[in-house]
Each structure stands twice: as C-alpha cells, then as structure tokens.
Copies of this chain bind each other. A is one copy, B any other.
Amino acid sequence: MKDNNQKIKLWLKNNQSKGIRLLQKLVTEPSKQGCEGTSQAIIVEKCRELGLEIDIWEPNGSKLFNHPYFVSPRTSFIDSPNVVGILKGTGNGRSLILNGHIDVVPEGDDSNWTADPFSAKIIDGKLYGRGSTDMKGGNVSLLLAIESIKECEIKLKGDVIFQSVIEEESGGSGTLASILRGYKADGAIIPEPTNMKIFPKQQGSLWFKVSVYGRSAHGGTRYEGVSAIEKSMIVIKEILKLEMTRNASISDSLYKNTPIPVPINIGKISGGSWPSSVPDLVTIEGRMGVAPDESIENAKEEMLKWLDKLEEIDQWFKKHPVKLEWFGARWVPGTIDLDHDLMTTLKHSYMEVKNEPPIIEASPWGTDGGLLSAVGNIPTIVFGPGTTEVAHYPNEYIEINRMFEAAEIIALTILSWCEVSEVQVDSLN
C-alpha cells in the first residue's frame, strides 16, 4: 500500500507539465453556458487516452425537465453534453463518483482583467483564467488522480466514475441528468474550490424576488403618495432580522468560525421611474442560504411567514402585501455524516500528503453535492484545490501546486476507498 502511494507521488511529480497543459487547454476554451462542447471534447479525448468507458449525452427528456429538483433557464441542452468516463474495477469494491462541472460563469467586463480572461497564463505558480479555480483545476486533479493510478498499473476493486457535467452554475441540471441516467456510487467527491478545506456539509441556496408596492404622486406633493422605496427599507430590515433569527438557531460546530452561517443576501434593488415622482414599485432580489440539514421547503416557508408578518409592523402592508417569488437558480443543501468512512478516508489521505490535519468546515455556498446527496442518496464531500476568494471574480487563478496536491490526496483516497485489487497486484508480481 505504501508502495502504491509512493508510486503515485512520484508519477505526479514527474508529470506536472502534462497536467498543466491539460488545464491550459481547458481554460482557453470558454465553456460558458451553451458553449461547453469544445471543453467537453478535450475531456472526452482525455478519457479515451485513459481507456475509460465513455458515455456522452445531451441531457433531455420529460423525466429531467419535470423533475422537482430541475432548475434551469434553458429548455434545451443540445450541444451541451455531459461526459462520464468509468474506470471499471475488478469487483467487490466500493465505487466512487468524482464529479466536476465544466461550465464557467461569464468573465464579466474584460477591462477588470489584467490579461485575456481565457489566457491560461502562468505567473508565479498561478494559472490565470475564468474557470481555472472554479473548477477546471479541480477537474484536472480528478483526471490526474485516475491517470496516476492507471499509469502506476494499480488495479482497483471498485469503479471510479468520473463525471464532467454542465449547468452547475445555473442550478445543477447536468448532475441531476447524470443521476437520472442511473449513475450511482457508494460515495462522491466534488473538487469545488474549497482552499483545500474539506466540506462535509454544503449550504443550499435559492433566489427570491420581493415586490414592494407604493402609491405614485408628484414629488412636489410626495405626502399624497406612498414611497415604495421607504416601504422597501422596512422589508429589507425585516429580512435581515429573519437572517439573524435563522442563524441564531444554528449551533453546528462546523460553523463556529463563520460570522453568518446561512446568510440572506439582498443582491439587487430597483424601483421608481422618475426623480420627481413617488415610486410605486420596488423590487429586491436576493439569495437565501439553506442550512445543510434544512429542506428547501422549510426555508421558503420561513421567508413567506416572515413577510406575512409585515402588516403587524406597518398597516400599509395589510392592503398592499409584498409579493414573494422564487426564481432563477437553486442549490439543494447536502450533508454527509462527519464519521462516515469516506470522511475518514479522505482525512487520512490528506494527513499523509500534507502532514497536517485538514480544516473541516461547512460550505458557504451550494454545489452539485446537494443533488448527489438528496436525489442520488450518494454520500458526498466537497474538497478541492481552487481558491475560494477568486471564484467568479476577475483575474481568477489557481495555485498549480495545490492542483497536484489535491490529485495526490484524491488518488490515495481512491486506493483506500475502492481498494486495490489483489488479483492485479498478484498478476504484477
């Protein structure tokens, strides 16, 4: 066993340029929503090179589109394939899903980037570009882990199911499609950018929109109207109180260093049409965090009930109640037992590679881990090499050495979880 681990360490050390080249190829293809095809082609090519059993399909069908957990602004995934590559085991071992999303968020305003957003340039050990940290670097860690095992001629008992999915950034319909296609395993790892922290619990989240009503009037006689902006201030204040109440009840020690475990973020506000008119409509849009052990439905109900109480604070809302809508993206929360064997295995591997205990926390955002846990019933851990702070931001980068560390930790986890096949070791001897 120790021998295998040493072989993997050595192989990864000797094949750094190969891994970096793969990441560069992936980052230079802007796999934004609807344009995932070329990046997936690179993944397919790699899976073929590794001799994996390959499955490529464009998610579709009423089972997907009508699934209660389906969320997407899209009505078709033509030209946006999912890719799965399976390293078949010899049998009688635990299987592991290695899931990463290929889609990246838009680069935003080019002028905020110091270089081309898809340059994949390397400066001081950091590879820059949209998607480098979130999460093509993590995906390369997965592929390197599989390749290192393969190249070291280690046979596994259990299957390793590598998934390169679309649509994570819009609510996870790629992963949902892979679950509905029948992919199951005894555990899963998602290498989202966690700063090498281990996240056994993932916060869910959902987007909401609140419409706040007023009554129009000329600004010069504004007392004849009712300002939707002033009323929206009351609503925002109450939503912040709801956030406080919800977080006060969270005692999970994984959140002990988190100022607000499950935030409610007011992200957008818009209202009024003329400087000298009293505004009669303000809409606010935000993101409501859902605790790992909470249901989406419970979170929705708490918000609805809270806003219903507005009329107790201001009579105006009695006749002019706010309108609450849930729209856009949604991420299901997820959780795995802290003493689950996959946790123990991953922690041990981390210790072996890094010579220090891992930091274990709950994620402050949603991942496809929620769907794998809640819909697929697959115990899932989120752990990856990317830098949390630069995800979705200009000048996104990944620290290259972390990508190889994560690859090694994941490879060792695979060996331990899926078990090395004695048949293979015998035949090698």
Chain A residues proximal to chain B, CB less than 8 Å: 203, 205, 207-209, 218-223, 227, 229-230, 232-233, 236-237, 240, 259-260, 263, 265-279, 282, 284-287, 289, 328-329, 363-366, 391-392
Give the shortest distance, in Å, between A291 (CB) and chain B (any CB). Answer: 12
Name the residue on B nearest A284 (C-beta): B229
Q: Are A275 and B269 in contact (CB under 8 A)?
A: no
Name the residue on B nearest A364 (C-beta): B220
Q: Could you pull out 19 A-B pairs where Cβ atoms are within 8 angstroms? A: A205-B219, A207-B276, A209-B275, A218-B364, A218-B392, A220-B265, A220-B289, A221-B365, A229-B269, A230-B240, A230-B266, A265-B276, A266-B272, A267-B277, A267-B278, A268-B273, A269-B272, A276-B286, A277-B392
Q: Are B259 and A268 in contact (CB under 8 A)?
A: no
**Contacting residues, chain B, for A236 (C-beta < 8 A):** 229-230, 233
Please tell me which one of the listed residues B208, B209, B260, B268 contacts residue A222 in the complex, with CB atoms under 8 A apart.
B260
Q: A95 vs B172: C-alpha distance in the bound complex, in angstroms?
A: 77
Number of copies: 2
Give the shortest distance, in Å, between A296 (CB) and chain B (any CB). Answer: 15
Give the shortest distance, in Å, between A263 (CB) and chain B (any CB). Answer: 5
Q: A272 vs B285: C-alpha distance in the bound complex, in angstroms?
A: 9
Give the shortest distance, in Å, between A273 (CB) and chain B (any CB). Answer: 7
Q: A223 vs B255: C-alpha distance in the bound complex, in angstroms?
A: 14
**Contacting residues, chain B, for A223 (C-beta < 8 A):** 259-260, 263
Q: Are A263 and B221 in contact (CB under 8 A)?
A: yes
**Contacting residues, chain B, for A265 (C-beta < 8 A):** 219-220, 222, 227, 275-278
Q: A274 vs B218: C-alpha distance in the bound complex, in angstroms?
A: 31
Name the residue on B nearest A289 (C-beta): B220
**Contacting residues, chain B, for A269 (C-beta < 8 A):** 229, 232, 269-272, 279, 282
**Contacting residues, chain B, for A274 (C-beta < 8 A):** 267-268
**Contacting residues, chain B, for A205 (C-beta < 8 A):** 219-220, 276
Name the residue on B nearest A203 (C-beta): B220
**Contacting residues, chain B, for A279 (C-beta < 8 A):** 266-269
Q: A391 vs B363: C-alpha distance in the bound complex, in angstroms?
A: 55
**Contacting residues, chain B, for A273 (C-beta < 8 A):** 267-268
